[in-house]
Amino acid sequence: MEIRIDRRTPLERMRVIPFQQVVDAVTNCCFEAAFRLPPDVLRAIREAAERESTAVGREFLRQYLENARIAETENMAICQDTGFAVYFVEMGENLRIDGGSIYEAISAGTARGYQEGFLRKSIVSDPLFARRNTTDNTPPIVHLTLVPGDRLTVILAPKGGGSENMSALRMLKPSQGRAGVVEFVTETVVKAGGNPCPPTIVGVGIGGTFEKAAFLAKKALLRPLGEPHPDAEYAALEREILERINASGVGPQGLGGDVTSLAVHIEHYPCHIASLPVAVNLNCHAARHAGFEL
Amino acid sequence: MSETAISLTTPISEATARKLRAGDRVLLSGVIWTGRDAAHKRLVAALDAGEPLPVPLRDQVIYFVGPCPAPPGRVIGSAGPTTSGRMDAYSPRLLWEAGLRGMIGKGERGPEVTAAMRECGGIYFAATGGAGALIARSIVKAEVVAYEDLGPEAIYRLEVKELPLVVAIDAQGGNLYERK
Q: What pLDDT, in 10s, does the model give residues A220-279?
A: 999 999 899 999 999 999 999 999 999 999 999 999 999 999 999 999 999 999 999 999
- Which is it for strands A261-271 and A276-283: parallel, antiparallel or unpaired? unpaired
ipTM score for this prediction: 0.90
Among A219, A100, A93, CA closest to A152? A93
Q: Does A74 touch chain B (CB under 8 A)?
A: yes
pLDDT of B3 reads 65
Q: How many CA atoms lie within 13 A of B2 on its CB side?
A: 16
Select the residue of B68, B106, B166 nearest A82 (Cβ to Cβ): B68
Q: Which of A249, A255, A284 sits opposite B126 (nearest CB)?
A: A255
- Compute the average pLDDT of residues B48-54: 95
Domain locations in chain A as residue ranges: 15-35+79-159, 161-285
Closest Cβ–Cβ partner in B71, B107, B150 for A254: B107
Q: Which of B125, B134, B178 to mutate to test the interface with A (most CBs of A within 10 A)?
A: B134
Q: How far is B15 from chain A (nearest CA, A)?
A: 25
Angstrom distance (rounded) from CA B172 to CA B119: 9
Number of neighbours of residue A230 by Cβ within 10 angstroms: 7
Q: Supply the pLDDT for residue B2.
A: 54
pLDDT digits (tens, 9 = 90+) for B128-140: 999 999 999 999 9
**What parts of chain A have a pLDDT lower than 70?**
1
Domains annotated on chain B, with CATH:
6-169 (3.20.130.10)
d(CA A77, CA B67): 10
CATH number of A161-285: 3.30.1330
pLDDT tens per residue across span A126-153: 999 989 999 999 999 999 999 999 999 9
The stretch B49-70 carries a mean pLDDT of 96
